[in-house]
Amino acid sequence: MEFLNLVNMANAAVKSNKIQEAIKLFDSALKLNPTSFEVCSKLGLLTFQAGDLDNSINYFKKTLLLDPKSSLGYSNLGLIYSKLNNQDLALENYLKAHEIDPKNFIVNYNLANHFFSNNDDKNAEKYYQLSIELNPQHFYPYNNLFQLYDRSNNLEKLGEIFNNILKLFGRSSQVQFLEGTLEFKKKNYKKTINIFKSLEFDKNDYQKSVLITNILAKCYDHVGSYSEAYKYYSLSNKITENTFKNKYNKNEFNDRVSKRLSSIIDVETGLFVDNEIYDKRSDPVFLIGFPRSGTTLLDTILRTHKSIEVIEEKLLVEDLMNQLNNYINNNLLNLNSINKNVIKQLRDLYFKKREDFVSYKNNSIIVDKLPLNIVYTAELNKIFPNAKFIFALRNPYDVVLSCFMQPFLPNDAMSNFYNLKDASNFYDLIMNLWDKYQQNLNLNLQIIKYEDVVNDFDSSIKKLLKFLDVEWTNDVRNFYLTASKRGIINTPSYNQVNKPIYKDSISRWKNYSDKFSDIDFKLKKWVKKFNY
């Protein structure tokens, strides 16, 4: 009787959204009846909801001891391990759940979400389709398939899935949002504006608010209404800034950059020269530059070559720098005295982690692409003295404008792009650091301008391939076909690199020249420096 009372009280607490109270009551009930599968499962779900992932794991493991054939027990463990970013364990549990109950809608849907979040679009599509077969009236598998086809630039399938959604669910606000996204993808910009301007949605939905305002801005830009475009870009950025102002702070990142700039500002040329041969492994190629400088375009061109593989925007270098900072404390001058055994350990760490992202072990060239790794050029040159650096360059005005226009995933560094003034200051800071690197480091460097790639593709890419010691192949001209086959591309440029070279992005800033009037002085010196 006492057990049932506790369970009833706990269920009532759940209905009142008193999660911690419900957890205590269910825990007391479980002590009275340790073999209650139902209570164990509810405790697993509630502790997961409360963010207590360790206890959630323990409760779900206990449910599996009570019922080893519980597919939802394994599926829920998969969710927790995904949350903990242990994707191997997540997949292992999802697959166990599917093996036990392959006809379970939730199991298939969770498995599809796992593949989607890990960029396996083929398997994601397969399991979303299975989810739809099992529960044709559930909206979210359709919605997620729509997002998958959007991200993979599959316009034909995008239209097909939208038509199915419209037939099944009518023109609700959710469906209208998808309709506006589809029309934007089809370049029907005025129609997109009409849909989104009339769309009623929850303004507290951060992601939807940012997407709608940013797409509206892009549409106004495409139809030549630049003042309206600027207004909506600013609004989109303000939504992100207000949402994450207590979580991310641009000053955190900028102060670190300023500190390293100060530490080398008066040093002599040739600092950190190191001709040591640490091992027989080939040092990496690093593709760096300011964000929106054409690194994704270069990435896509290079990976078209059969002898080149590109690792796309993984935190390999950031992890390395976190380890290295234990020895240099963000002071670059300390690189001069770092122990060679430490360098060997750091190299081992990098190459070991890199193996997880290398698909073709026999590729002769592996390019590590993440634009803001430019900040760590000194350390990378020290740890990998035979590394090659590809520096992507683009007109400073176009770069700053493009960063302002792009709804980046928020973090400390990206918090510089909410307005043109901050973006210009950040560009100036990064390029001042880069300028000092060039003066003081012996870099094996190839600078490649975005505009040269656009205006004289063959000449600029031939130079780049020669720098990488690989032969020219005509396949690289069809880089956009490679992009189409890649499926999901993990950069803000995913919807731009699956088409032939276009020139619309060159001198785009002139449409917004009046917005640069107060910050011209920050960028003019770099325009002159880089011969624009």
What is the per-residue pLDDT for 486?
52
Helix or strand holding residue 403 (H, E): helix 396-405
Whole-angstrom distance, CA of residue 128 vs CA of residue 145: 7
Q: Within 13 Å of residue 99, how many CA atoms lie on the same side as its CB? A: 9
CB 107 within 8 A of CB 75: yes
Number of Cβ within 10 Å of residue 227's Cβ equals: 11
Q: Where are the domains of the chain?
A: 2-180, 283-529
Q: Within 13 Å of residue 286, how many CA atoms lie on the same side as its CB? A: 29
pTM value?
0.85
Bridge partners, residue 368, by sequence: 286, 311
Res 98 pLDDT > 70: yes
Nearest one of 217, 287, 292 to 493, comparing CA atoms: 292
Whole-angstrom distance, CA of residue 139 vs CA of residue 370: 36
Res 488 pLDDT > 50: no
Whole-angstrom distance, CA of residue 374 vs CA of residue 426: 13
Separation in Å, CA 325 to CA 36, 92, 255, 342: 49, 35, 15, 12
Q: Which CATH number is associated with domain 2-180?
A: 1.25.40.10
Q: Residues near 433 by Cβ (< 8 Å), separated by ≥ 6?
A: 257, 260, 261, 374, 375
Condensed to tens digits (0 to 9), the pLDDT of residues 388-443 reads: 999 999 999 999 999 999 999 999 999 999 999 999 999 999 999 999 999 888 89
Banded pLDDT at 280 (limits 50, 70, 90): confident
What is the per-residue pLDDT for 518?
83
Q: Residues near 99 by Cβ (< 8 Å), separated by ≥ 6?
A: none
CATH superfamily, domain 283-529, is: P-loop containing nucleotide triphosphate hydrolases (3.40.50.300)
What is the per-residue pLDDT for 267?
62
Res 461 pLDDT > 80: yes
Bridge partners, residue 448, by sequence: 392
Number of Cβ within 10 Å of residue 10's Cβ equals: 24
Res 272 pLDDT > 80: no
Banded pLDDT at 489 (limits 50, 70, 90): very low
What is the per-residue pLDDT for 521?
83
CB 370 within 8 A of CB 491: no
What is the per-residue pLDDT for 395?
97
Q: Bigger pLDDT: 482 or 398?
A: 398
Q: Bigger pLDDT: 486 or 452?
A: 452
Say which range, 28-37, 206-215, 333-342, 443-452, has the weakest mean pLDDT. Answer: 333-342
Helix (H, G, I), strand (E, B) or coil at 288: strand
For residue 346, which amino acid is it? L
The sign one gets for the Cα dihedral 80, 86, 87, 91 is negative
What is the per-residue pLDDT for 332?
83
Q: Do domains 2-180 and 283-529 have the same CATH topology?
A: no
Nearest one of 290, 517, 530 to 400, comparing CA atoms: 290
Whole-angstrom distance, CA of residue 426 vs CA of residue 100: 53
Number of Cβ within 10 Å of residue 326's Cβ equals: 8
What is the arithmetic mean of pLDDT over 301-310?
92
Condensed to tens digits (0 to 9), the pLDDT of residues 105-132 reads: 999 999 999 999 998 999 999 999 999 9
Work out whether strand 365-369 and strand 308-312 pair parallel, antiparallel, or are unpaired: parallel
Mean pLDDT of the chain: 91
Which residue has tokens 């303000």?
238
Question: How is residue 170 annotated by DSSP?
Answer: -
What is the per-residue pLDDT for 266?
60
Helix axes 396-405, 226-244, angle to 10 degrees: 60
Using CB atoms within 10 Å of the CB of residue 19, give its burial: 0 to 12 exposed, 13 to 18 middle, 19+ buried: middle
With vertex at residue 432, the alpha carbon angle to CA 426 and CA 433, rounded to the nearest 5 degrees, is: 95
DSSP output for 17-49: T-HHHHHHHHHHHHHH-TT-HHHHHHHHHHHHH
Number of Cβ within 10 Å of residue 268's Cβ equals: 7
Whole-angstrom distance, CA of residue 298 vs CA of residue 313: 13
What is the arithmetic mean of pLDDT over 140-167?
95
Whole-angstrom distance, CA of residue 425 vs CA of residue 420: 9
Nearest one of 393, 435, 403, 365 to 295, comparing CA atoms: 393
Which residue has tokens 């396949």?
475
Condensed to tens digits (0 to 9), the pLDDT of residues 144-154 reads: 999 999 988 88
Helix axes 121-134, 105-117, angle to 10 degrees: 160
Contacts of the segment 402-407: beta carbons below 8 A, 24+ positions apart: 402/292, 402/505, 402/508, 403/290, 403/291, 403/292, 404/233, 404/237, 405/214, 405/217, 405/218, 405/221, 405/233, 406/291, 406/292, 406/492, 407/210, 407/211, 407/214, 407/236, 407/237, 407/240, 407/492
Q: Residues near 331 by Cβ (< 8 Å), separated by ≥ 6?
A: 259, 260, 263
The sign one gets for the Cα dihedral 295, 404, 411, 240 is negative
- The structure tokens listed for 392 are 């992507």
Condensed to tens digits (0 to 9), the pLDDT of residues 60-90 reads: 999 999 999 999 999 999 999 999 989 999 9
Helix or strand holding residue 75 (H, E): helix 71-83
Longest dimension (CA), the chain: 83
